[in-house]
Structure 1
């Protein structure tokens, strides 16, 4: 495949995705925000624990 064919395939695929996608409703958006916030808190907590352990060990 050349660059032009790759680009045309990408545009075709992008149009197909936009056609079948839809805007989330309010409940779906709130659930997604809660899950994302929980993920940030979990990753931050793990990082905090690692830093605290590093200070205790003396690294």
Structure 2
């Protein structure tokens, strides 16, 4: 599957540890999806904060 490395330690035994292999296209799509979700969550949190701030100012 992946070539044996001369390094030792927990990272070298991990299946996600790869040397000299370019990342797969699915890795890029996964990271893009994670980034998009993080952006949406951040925007939603900002909207909720703005609504709560506006509601508290009304009192």
Q: Please report the TM-score for the alignment, with normalisation by the length of structure 1.
A: 0.57
| 4+ residue runs over 3 A deviation | 20-23
Note the C-alpha offset of 1:36: 0.6
- Consecutive unaligned residues in structure 1, runs of 5 or more: 1-19
Residue aligning to 2:33:
34
Which runs of 5 or more structure 2 residues have no equivalent in the other structure? Answer: 1-18
Q: Which structure exhibits the higher relative contact order, with contacts defined as CA atoms closer than 8 Å and separated by 6 or more residues?
A: 2
RMSD of Structure 2 on Structure 1 (CA):
2.0
Query: How many pairs does the alignment contain?
Result: 40
TM superposition score normalised by structure 2: 0.57
When you count helix as a share of all residues, which structure comes out higher?
A: 1
